Amino acid sequence: MSSDDESSAKIPEDNVLSSNCKHVKSDVNVAFGPQNWYWARCGTRWRFVRSQLSDWADLGIHDAHWVAFKHDTGFLIGGEDEDGEVKVVHTWNNDFMVRAEHVDSFIESRDAYIKLHGWIWDRVKSDPEKLRDIAVSIGPKGSYFARSGSSSVTHALPKDLQTAIKESDSSPMTIALGIKGSWIVLWADGTRSWNLRFAYPSLASAGHLENSSNRTVFAALNPYMEDSYFVVAEDGACSYSTSLTDNVEGKQLHEITDTYMRMRAKRDGSSFNHSMRLNGVLKQVSITPKSSPQETRSEALMSMWRARARQDFVKQKDVAFVCSIAGGTGVLAKVAGMSTMRAVGLATSTGIGAALSMWFRGN
C-alpha cells in the first residue's frame, strides 16, 4: 500500500490481501456529492444526478461502475462505453471559484486528484474486471482512499484513521470518508472500524456497524451533510438517511434500492424489516420473498403507516379507532348479506382510509 499523505505515520508498502479474505463484495455502490448530487448503483441499475448543466452525456460512458465527487471541482468516474471499452474519466468544474486564501490547498488537492486518476488507470488499463474491483472514496479537504486488488493509495486521511490502518493486521477493502474527519473502514477479515465523531447519530444508533450476524459490506458517508449516509448489509438490506432537495430524485433513489432488495429477497430467500429516512420522512420497509418485484401503491402507504406507528406519531387510541372502524364495517357488511371476501375487502379499504385520514391530520 502506498501513501502520499504528509504525516510521518506511513502505511506499509504493498499490504497484500490474504487468500482467505472474508470481506463480501457488494454489488451496491453509492457516492454523495455537493449540492445534493449523488450516484447510486444497485445491482445492474444505476442513477447519476449532478445538475441540469451536467456534461454527463459527453462522457461516453454507457455503464458506470463507480463514481467519486471532488468537492465542487468535478468528479472521477469509471465505467465502460457502448462497445465495452474501459473508461476512467476525470472532470473539472471550470466555474468553481477559488478564494485567494485557499489557492495553495486547491492546487495541492488538484495535483493529488491527478495522481489518483493516473494511479487508477495504471492498474486498470483496459481490463473491465479490474475496473469493477476498484474501490474509491473522496472526503473533505482533498482526502481520498482508493484500492485496486491488493494495492491502495491514500491522501490526507485523518490521523486516527492512518493509525488504525498502520496498526491493523488486516487490509482495508473500502473506506468511507465523512465530515469532521469521520470514517468507516471495512477490513479484509470481515470486521469493521469507525469513528463517526457524533456527525451521523442516526447511523450510530441504528446498530448496523455493530451487527456481526449480518455484516455491513458497503458504507458511504455524505462528506457535505451531517447524518446522511448509505450502508448495505450482507443480505442486501439497504439502509440510508438522505435529504435530497428534489422529491422526484428521492423517489427514484427509493425505487432502485427497494427494487434491488426485492430482487435479493426473491433470489436469496431473505426478508427485510427495517427503517430508512428519505427527505426527513421515515419509511418502514417490509419485504419478503413473496413480495412483488416492485413496490405497489398499497405497500407504499403501509410503509408510511408502519413508520409513523413506530415513531409513536399514532397513539394507541388511534390504532384502536382504526381497528374498530374496520371491524365494524366488516360486521355490517356481513349482516347486509355480502360474501365474506367482499366484507373483508370493504373492511380493509375502510381501515386504510381511516388510517390515511389520521396520517394527513397529523401532518
pLDDT in tens, 264-289: 999 999 999 877 777 777 777 889 99
Residue 338 pLDDT: 60
d(CA 53, CA 69): 16
153 forms beta bridges with 2, 146
Would you write out the chain's pLDDT as a tens digit for each of its 363 residues?
Answer: 433 443 333 333 334 444 568 889 999 999 999 888 899 999 999 988 765 445 566 788 889 999 999 876 688 999 999 999 999 998 876 555 545 554 456 566 778 889 999 999 999 988 999 999 999 999 998 899 999 998 999 999 999 999 999 999 999 999 999 999 999 999 999 999 999 999 999 999 999 999 999 999 999 999 999 999 999 999 999 999 988 767 777 888 889 999 999 999 999 999 998 777 777 777 778 899 999 888 766 666 665 565 555 555 444 445 555 455 545 554 454 555 666 555 445 445 555 555 545 444 444
Residue 95 pLDDT: 57
The span from the first CA to the last CA of the chain, in angstroms, equals 53
151 forms beta bridges with 148
**Rounded to two decimals, what is the model's pTM?**
0.77
| Helix runs in the chain, H state only | 103-124, 128-132, 159-167, 201-206, 247-268, 297-310, 316-335, 340-362
Residue 257 pLDDT: 93
Q: Which three cell numbers stand for residue 91?
A: 472532470
Is the distance from CB of 109 to CB of 77 less than 8 angstroms?
no
Residue 126 pLDDT: 87
